[in-house]
Amino acid sequence: MKLYIAEKPSVARAIAHVLAPSAKSENGIYSAGDVVVAPLSGHVLEQAKPHEYAERFKEWRLEDLPIVPETWKKLVKSEFKGRISAVGKLLKRASVVVHAGDPDREGQLIVDEVLDHLGYHGPVRRVLPNEIEETGLREILANEHDNREFAALSESARAREQNDFLVGISATRAVTLIGQQQGYRGMTFTVGRVQTPTLALVVRREREIESFVPIDHYAVVATMAHERGAFEAIWQPDPTQVDLDPEGRLLDRSTAEAIVARVQGKSGRVVSYKDERKKANPPPPFSLNALQAKASRLFRIPVAQVLEIAQALYEKHKLTTYPRSDSKYLPTSQHAIAGDVLQAVAATSRSLAPLIDGADASRRSPAFKDTKDPHHAIVPTRRHGDISQLNELERKVYELIAKSYIAQFYPPYEYRTIEAEVEIDGERFLARGKIPLNLGWRAVLGTDDKDERGDDEAPPIPPLAQGDAARCSAAEVKEKKTEPPPRFSQASLVAAMERIDKFVQNPEVKARLRSVKGIGTSATQAPIVEGLLTRGYLEERDHKLYATAPAVALIEVLERAVWPLTDPGLTALMEQTLESVAEGRLTCAQHTAQVVAFMNKVIVDLKAVKFPAPPAGLPTRRAGGASRRSKGAGAFRKRRGSWKPSRAKRRETS
């Protein structure tokens, strides 16, 4: 018997439909002749809790930290015992198993650990269900691999689990116990490898906004008259100019007014002129992170909801490929089916059909690139669907994904950039412009980037030549104010989690992080943001995120005692070590040993930390140490300056 094990029922159903359309289903298990397809339901095993390793760990005590299991244990979740039992019986009859878990490290582990738990030692093949649309899935099922090729990927998922246990359990207990000793009674401070540095991004942004003092600065804008037309130019300060701040902004209005008086009505020369024709390729198709960031911003929905929609488009409607992808590339082999995919999009959404007419399926954009990623960018499938079967948000997200794919088959966007520098009485003025020549893929995507839109809509600069005469026909002083950094939204926060190098100051670390896919994974970033909101560390008002008092207190304490726990750069580098495990350059045991050494130091440093004073109105009832009555940080939500209890439960987290 050939036994296929899928990660979830919908994938099992799709596989059974392809392999044996007449297969009978009993308790979700499909069978036809010598083929059986059995589903799991995600992680059916879970990491043992501390007290399941030793009874004494039921009580939270500093002297027990860090908690480091001698032998790691995974237990069957109670609700899945029947399913595991059924799979166990099937394994006894199987001559070969086909691992059909999701094509990422968690999907690899989900099936592998079930086979280990049930003691299966027979041959295992691997298929990678990047899509479950019938045509694509048939090709996937015909392309089996030896599952041993993916052993290191499974090991990296185990390393991630152990890492999160070691950091989340011990740091959460340590900070909570020390906080309760210092006045934060009744609270549990949850700490996690990814959660905490993500929270630190928001807290630090909060500080920047609160400490921000606006600065007045001044620009001189001149209208230049030339025989071929007029254009605007901005005064450029000399590096030796006084009254500039470190960013080169002019701080003295009288200096600006003196410049206006000096140049107005005078003639000068064009000292440099550049007119260049340029091309820009289309942006690549979406990874999950990029899709969440854009859809959340465009449609004003939570990032977690974007993932739900993408999952439904893949699993329920079979219109798009596997959603939990970190990749923005497509394998070169996918180019051969481009015409079929484009026709499927046209059949599914009539509003997109005119865009398909302008696409050239033979065009190969830079997005078609073979990488080591187990999955590829999120794109439409070859299924001819019915857009009316989608709800409004599903339709919007589908069309967003489809347009990003269609754009790959349009010509580059072509434009001219013009830059002219005029000198009048020793003062230099710069004019810049951008002129679209051929919209190319922008006919599909347009642009929602205000800076690019501003460039395109800038007044045109007439044809000039170096040495031409130009006269300042008018000049004025424009007063400006510096603005505080913007608050994070859910969309910009998940985008920041991916581009974490932007938030690191150390040049060496910054350079290393440019090759890292950020902190967390595309599949976990949205749940982390949602968890910070649920636990009361963040609040959302008008689609903007605010750090609460418990969040500020937690980050302040950790910065004092164990800065690395709040450092997104270090967390991203830890993610890089997980990639080293996935590539076989580091073992799970070696990675875990590094984390244990790190946590030993963390606990020592935390014991010496002093918490800031608790926020006003925080309940001070005794919590009995780590009593089960303890509330989480989410138990205190800010309402008009006070703190009121909610129903948040205590959780140790990763």
Looking at residue 624, what is its pLDDT?
A: 35
Same domain for 387 and 302: yes
Task: Please report whether residue 649 resides in a domain.
Answer: no
Looking at residue 457, what is its pLDDT?
A: 54
* Residue whose C-alpha is closest to residue 396's, from 300, 324, 332: 300
The pTM is what?
Answer: 0.85
Task: Please report whether residue 183 resides in a domain.
Answer: yes
Same domain for 416 and 276: yes
Q: CA-CA distance, 220 to 247, in Å (whole number)?
A: 16
The position carrying tokens 């899928």 is 6
Same domain for 368 and 433: no
pLDDT per 10-residue tile (average), the chain, 654 residues: 96 95 91 95 95 96 96 96 96 97 94 97 96 94 97 95 95 93 87 94 96 96 96 93 91 97 97 96 96 96 96 96 94 96 97 97 96 89 96 98 98 96 97 94 80 54 95 98 96 92 80 76 89 95 94 92 87 84 94 95 91 68 36 40 34 51
Q: CA-CA distance, 53 to 472, in Å (whole number)?
A: 80
Same domain for 571 and 469: no
Looking at residue 327, what is its pLDDT?
A: 92
261 phi-psi bin (left φ>0, alpha ψ -120 to 50, beta other): alpha
Q: CA-CA distance, 224 to 222, in Å (whole number)?
A: 6
Task: Please report whether residue 126 resides in a domain.
Answer: yes
In 487-554 the beta strands, taken as DSSP E runs, fall at 538-541, 544-547
Q: CA-CA distance, 162 to 148, in Å (whole number)?
A: 22
Looking at residue 138, what is its pLDDT?
A: 96
Give the DSSP letter of residue 48: P
Looking at residue 441, what is its pLDDT?
A: 98
* Residue whose C-alpha is closest to residue 381's, from 341, 336, 338, 349: 341
Same domain for 405 and 435: no
Task: Please report whether residue 647 resides in a domain.
Answer: no
Same domain for 107 and 22: yes
Say how many domains are in the chain.
4
Task: Please report whether residue 644 resides in a domain.
Answer: no
Task: Please report whether residue 640 resides in a domain.
Answer: no
Same domain for 584 and 617: yes
Looking at residue 652, what is its pLDDT?
A: 55
Residues 6+ apart with CB under 8 A from 247: none
Same domain for 607 and 508: yes
Q: Provide φ and ψ at 124, rounded to 5°.
A: -130, 125
* Residue whose C-alpha is closest to residue 111's, from 29, 8, 236: 8
Which residues are bridge partners to 378 per DSSP?
Answer: 286
Residues 6+ apart with CB under 8 A from 625: 59, 60, 177, 180
Q: At what angle do helices 288-299 and 303-315 cross, to 10 degrees?
A: 120
Domain that holds residue 491: 158-210+486-625
CATH no. for residue 257? 2.70.20.10
Task: Please report whether residue 148 resides in a domain.
Answer: no
Q: Which of 363, 382, 409 is the last residue of a domain?
A: 409
Looking at residue 632, what is its pLDDT?
A: 43
Same domain for 529 and 444: no
Q: How far is CA 173 from CA 355, 498, 632, in A?
A: 56, 28, 12
Same domain for 201 and 292: no
Q: What is the DSSP string of 286-325?
A: BPHHHHHHHHHHHHT--HHHHHHHHHHHHHTS--B--SS-
Looking at residue 651, what is its pLDDT?
A: 44
Q: How far is CA 296 from CA 118, 276, 303, 328, 452, in A?
A: 42, 36, 6, 18, 21
Task: Please report whether residue 566 resides in a domain.
Answer: yes
- Let me know: does 318 contact 547? Beta carbons within 8 Å: no
Same domain for 494 and 416: no
Q: Which residues are catalytic?
A: 322
Q: Which of 143, 166, 188 is the last residue of a domain?
A: 143
